[in-house]
Amino acid sequence: MILQGRSFLRRCIFSTDHKVVGIQYGITALFFLLFGFCLMLLMRWQLAYPGTPIPWIGQWLGENRAPGGVVLPEFYNELGAMHGTIMVFLGVVPLLVGAFGNYLIPLQIGAPDMAFPKLNMASYWTYLLGGLTMLVSFFVPGGAANSGWTAYPPLADIATAGQTVWLLGMVCIITSSLLGSINFITTIFQLRAEGLTFMRLPFFVWAQLITSFLLLLAFPPLEAAGILQLFDRVAATSFFLPSGLVVSGEPLKVSGGGSALLWQHLFWFLGHPEVYVILLPSMGIVTEIIVNNIRRPLYGYRTMVYSVIFLGLMSFIVWAHHMYLTGMGTALSAFFQTTTMIISIPSVVILSCLFLSLWGGSIRFNTPMLFALSFLPMFGIGGLTGLPLGVATVDIHLHDTYYVIGHFHYIVAPGTIFAIFAGIYYWFPKVTGKRMNENLGQLHFWPSLFLMNGIFMPMFIQGLAGVSRRLYDGGAQYAHAQGVLHLNVGISMCAWLLALFQIPFIVNLIWSMAKKEKAALDNPWEATTLEWAAPTPPPHGNFREIPKVYRGPYEYSVPGAAKDFTPQSEA
Amino acid sequence: MSVMNTAIPYTVEARPETGLYNAKLGMWLFLASEVMLFGGLFSAYVFLRMAAAHWPAGSSILSIPLGAVNTVVLITSSITMSLASAAVKERKFDQFKVNLGLTILLALVFLSVKSFEYGMKFSHHMYPKTNTFLAIYFALTGVHVLHVLGGLVVNAYFWGPGSRMGQADPQRFANRIEIAGLYWNFVDVVWILLFVTLYLL
C-alpha cells in the first residue's frame, strides 16, 4: 500500500486524504459541539435559579466572570453569543459539511479523492485556527464576544475587545468554508465515475452540492460585513453607526452617517442560506439512511432533487424575514413574507416524499434509522412553527421571544443533530470496520428524543407569553413572564439530563473503536451506493478499481432481482 | 492488497462533459464568490449613499487623473497577462517571460500610484474615520489592493521559481498561467467598477 511509506505525521495529521480530513473535521467539531453545549448548560442554571451560585463548577469560572459562582450579566451575554457561534459555525456545519461531506462525497461518486486535496487540508487547518481564535477570545480583556451570535451593531461596534477577535475568527471560518465549497463543487462536477449521471447521484451528494453553492455565494457578503465591522472597531469608521448616537449619556465621538440596518442585511444574506446549509445535508443523511432501512426505492427522487435546487435558489431571497421589526418598510416586508411562504413548499415536498417512502416498506428499526425517523417529525415541528414567524403581523408579537428559540432549535437540535448522530451510527462501520453497540445506541436515542422535546416544547409556551430570549434572569422582572417562569426549572433539568444521556454515545464511540474484532463485511447494511463497494476502511485512493455505475442510487427490492438490493456498481 | 490508483482525474486535461479541467472550474467558482464579496461591499456603498443626507462628489475628494492613470495601467497589465498566457500555450517561453514581467511591473506601478494617493489623503488629514465617503473608499480600494497584492505574489512566483514547470510539464504550466490570468482580469474589472463608482459618480 502506498500509505506505508509515509510518516505518521503525513498520514494522520497533515494528510491530504479526504477521509483523514473528514475524520479530523468530525472529531474537532464534536469537541466544539460538546463545548458549545456546556456553555448552554451554564446558562440554563442562571435561567432556572437566577442569582444563585452554580454548584461545583461556579468556583472555577473566575472572579471576573462569576464572583462567588454567580454568573455576571456580561458573562451570561458571552455565553449566549459564543454558544450560538460555536454551535453553528464550529460544530454543526463542520460536522455536516466538513466531516460527512468530505468523507462521503468522493466515495459516493466513485472518485479517488477530492479534486484539490491540498486545498482540502488547508480548509481544515484554517477552520481549526478560526476555532482556536474563538476559544482564545474568552481570555482577552472584557471576555469573549458578547453581542449575540448575530453581532448586531451599534452594540457590537462599541463592545469589548472580544468582538474584534470574534471577527478575526469568523474571517478564518469563512475562508475555510470557501476553500471547502470550491472543492466540493469541483469534485462533484469533475470526478463522478463513469456512468454516474446527475440523476443517478445519491440524494446526499445533491444536498451537499446545493449546500456548497450556498456556502460559496452567501458567505462572502458576511465577510464583506465583517471587514466593515473591523473597520468600525479598529479604524473608528461609522459604517454601522448612525449620527447622533449616545452611549451611557455621552455622545459617541464618531463621524456617524452609517446604518445599523446595513449590517443586518449583509448578515442575514448569509444567515438565512446558512439555515439551509444546516438543513440540506441533514436531509441528505436522513434520506440515505431511511431509504436503506425501508428496503424499497425512494418515493419521488426527481421531485426531491428539483425541490432541493429550488430551495437553494429561494434561500437567497428570504433573508429580510428576520428583520420585520427593523422598520425597513411594509413593502419590503410584504415581499419577503411572500418568498418565505413559497420556500416552505419545497421543504414540505421533501418531507412528504420521505414520509411517503415509508409506506409499504419493511422497516428495520436500528439506531441510525431511529434517529433518522425522529428527524422527520422534529424537523416538521421546527418547520411548521416557523411559518407564523414568516408572517410579519404575527412576528411582531413573537420576534426575539423564546418561541423563536424553540422554533429554530427544533430544526438544529433534535433535527440536525439527530441527523448527525444517525449518520455517525450508520457510516461508522465503513469508517472503522467495526459496528457500534445497538443497546447503547438505544439508550442514547430514547432519552435524547424525550429530553429534546422536554427542553424545546415549553419554550413555545414561554414565547407565546412574550418572554424575551435575551434576558439574564429569564424575565423575572416582567409581569407577563410570571406565569411561565416556572417552566425554566423543568427545561434546565431536561438539558442537564440530556448531557447525561450523551455519555452512552461517547462510551459507545470510544469502546466500539477500541474493539478488537472486525466486522469483515464491506456492506453491513446491504446498501446500494458506491461507498459500500469500497474496501473497509477505505484505503488512500478509495477503490480497488475505479467503479462504473450502471443504475440509479436506490434500487431496493427490484422485482426479479436475486437479492433485495442492487448496488450501483453492479452490471 | 493491490496498489490503489490515487491519481486524480482531469487535473490537466479537460473533462469532456464540462469542457474544463479541475483548476479552471475551481477558479471560476472562486471568482463567483469574489463577485459576491465585492457585491456585498458595493451594495454597502449604494445603501450608505442612498441613506446619506449629503454625499460628496468623488471628484471633489479624489484625483481623477491619478485614478485614470491607474485604470490605464491595470488594463494594459490585463493585456500583457493575456499575451503571456497565449505565449506559454505556444511554448514561447521568452515572450512569456517578457509579458509576465511587464504584468508584474505594471502591478507595481498601480500599487505605487495607489500608495501615493493614500499618502496624499493622510497628509490632508483625511482618514477612514473622517466621513462615510472616505470610509467606504478606503474599505473598497483597500480590499482591492489586497487582491492586487495577491495576484502580484502569484505572478511573481510563476515568473521566478514556478516557471521551471514550464519545461517539465508545459501543459500544466500553461493551465496555471491561464487561471492566474482569469484572476488578474477579474481584479482589473473590479478596479474599473471602483473607478467609475468612487471617482466619477
ipTM: 0.95
Torsion of CA A108, A112, A117, A120, to 10 degrees: 20
From A189, A219, A257, residue closest to B131, measured CB to CB: A257
Amino acid at A240: F
pLDDT of residue B6: 74
pLDDT tens-digit map of A228-278: 999 999 999 999 999 999 998 999 989 889 999 999 999 999 999 999 999
A106: nearest CA partner in chain B:
B8
Give the range of the structural domain holding residue B124, as residue numbers without chain letter. Answer: 22-48+63-200
**Are the beta carbons of B128 and A236 separated by less than 8 Å?**
yes
Give the range of the structural domain holding residue A323, as residue numbers without chain letter. Answer: 18-241+254-533
- The pTM is what? 0.96
B46: nearest CA partner in chain A:
A262
From A238, A539, A544, residue closest to B135, measured CB to CB: A238
DSSP states along A471-538: -TTTTTT-GGGGGGTTHHHHHHHHHHHHHHTTHHHHHHHHHHHH-SS----S-TT---SGGGGS-SS-
pLDDT of residue A530: 96
* Contact residues for B121 (Cβ-Cβ < 8 A; gap 6+): B127, B134
The answer to the question of residue B8 being in a domain is no
3-state secondary structure of A247: strand
Q: Which residues of chain A have a CB within 8 Å of the CB of B25? A: 185-186, 189-190
B3: nearest CA partner in chain A:
A1
**Are the beta carbons of B25 and A262 separated by less than 8 Å?**
no
The answer to the question of residue B15 being in a domain is no
**Are the beta carbons of B3 and A231 separated by less than 8 Å?**
no
3-state helix, strand, coil in chain A (%, to 5): 70, 0, 30
The answer to the question of residue A481 being in a domain is yes
Do A392 and A324 meet the contact criterion of CB atoms below 8 Å apart? yes
Q: Which residues, in sequence order, are bridge partners of residue A247?
A: A250
Shortest Cα–Cα distance, B84 to chain A (Å): 25
**Are the beta carbons of B39 and A113 separated by less than 8 Å?**
no
**Are the beta carbons of B40 and A221 separated by less than 8 Å?**
yes
Shortest Cα–Cα distance, B123 to chain A (Å): 17
Q: Which residues of chain B have a CB within 8 Å of the CB of A231? A: 128, 135, 138-139
Domain with residue B69: its CATH number is 1.20.120.80
The answer to the question of residue B185 being in a domain is yes
Closest CA to A508 of A429, A436, A423: A436
**Are the beta carbons of B131 and A262 separated by less than 8 Å?**
no
**Are the beta carbons of B8 and A535 separated by less than 8 Å?**
no
Integer Rg of chain B from CA: 20
From B9, B18, B32, residue closest to A216, measured CB to CB: B32
Residue A143 burial class via C-beta count within 10 angstroms: exposed 0-12, middle 13-18, buried 19 and up: buried
pLDDT of residue B4: 59
**Are the beta carbons of A117 and B8 separated by less than 8 Å?**
yes
Is pLDDT of B1 > 50?
no
pLDDT of residue A520: 62
The answer to the question of residue A511 being in a domain is yes
Percent of chain B at pLDDT > 70 equals 98
Shortest Cα–Cα distance, A98 to chain B (Å): 18
Residue A113 CA neighbour count, 13 Å, CB half: 25
From B2, B9, B32, residue closest to A191, measured CB to CB: B9
Shortest Cα–Cα distance, A228 to chain B (Å): 7
A266: nearest CA partner in chain B:
B40
Q: Which residues of chain A have a CB within 8 Å of the CB of B61? A: none
B34: nearest CA partner in chain A:
A220
The answer to the question of residue A237 being in a domain is yes
From B5, B20, B135, residue closest to A541, measured CB to CB: B5
Q: Which residues of chain A have a CB within 8 Å of the CB of B16? A: none
Domain with residue A327: its CATH number is 1.20.210.10
The answer to the question of residue A248 being in a domain is no
**Are the beta carbons of B44 and A239 separated by less than 8 Å?**
yes
Q: How many domains does chain A have?
A: 1
Helices A117-136 and A18-48 pack at an angle, to 10 degrees, of 20
The answer to the question of residue B55 being in a domain is no
pLDDT tens-digit map of B151-200: 999 999 999 999 999 889 999 999 999 999 999 999 999 999 999 999 99
The answer to the question of residue A455 being in a domain is yes
Do A207 and A284 meet the contact criterion of CB atoms below 8 Å apart? yes
**CA B186/CA B180 separation, integer angstroms:** 10
pLDDT tens-digit map of B62-87: 999 999 999 999 999 999 999 999 99
Percent of chain B at pLDDT > 90 equals 93
**Are the beta carbons of A182 and B26 separated by less than 8 Å?**
yes
Q: How many domains does chain B have?
A: 1
**Are the beta carbons of A115 and B128 separated by less than 8 Å?**
no
* Contact residues for B199 (Cβ-Cβ < 8 A; gap 6+): B58, B59, B62, B64, B67
Q: Which residues of chain B have a CB within 8 Å of the CB of A258? A: 48, 132, 135
B37: nearest CA partner in chain A:
A220
Q: Which three cell numbers stand for residue A167?
A: 471577527
Closest CA to A97 of A318, A236, A284, A358: A284
Q: Which residues of chain A have pLDDT under 50?
A: 1-3
**Are the beta carbons of A237 and B48 separated by less than 8 Å?**
no
Shortest Cα–Cα distance, A325 to chain B (Å): 19
Q: Which residues of chain A have a CB within 8 Å of the CB of B26? A: 115-116, 119, 182-183, 186
Residue A411 burial class via C-beta count within 10 angstroms: exposed 0-12, middle 13-18, buried 19 and up: buried
Closest CA to B113 of B61, B69, B60: B69
pLDDT of residue A1: 37
DSSP states along chain B: -PPP--PPTTSSSPBTTTTB-HHHHHHHHHHHHHHHHHHHHHHHHHHHHHH-S----HHHHS-HHHHHHHHHHHHHHHHHHHHHHHHHHTT-HHHHHHHHHHHHHHHHHHHHHHHHHHHHHHHTT--TTT-HHHHHHHHHHHHHHHHHHHHHHHHHHHHTGGGGHHHH-HHHHHHHHHHHHHHHHHHHHHHHHHIIIIII-
**Are the beta carbons of A255 and B135 separated by less than 8 Å?**
yes
Interface contacts A/B by beta carbons within 8 Å: 160
Residue A334 burial class via C-beta count within 10 angstroms: exposed 0-12, middle 13-18, buried 19 and up: exposed
Q: Which residues of chain B have a CB within 8 Å of the CB of A117? A: 8
Q: How far is CA A487 from CA A73, A454, A456, in A?
A: 21, 10, 11
**CA A207/CA A17 separation, integer angstroms:** 22
**Are the beta carbons of B44 and A235 separated by less than 8 Å?**
no
**Are the beta carbons of B40 and A223 separated by less than 8 Å?**
yes
Q: Which three cell numbers stand for residue B73?
A: 495601467
**Are the beta carbons of B4 and A265 separated by less than 8 Å?**
no
For chain A, how long is the longest CA-to-CA vector? 81
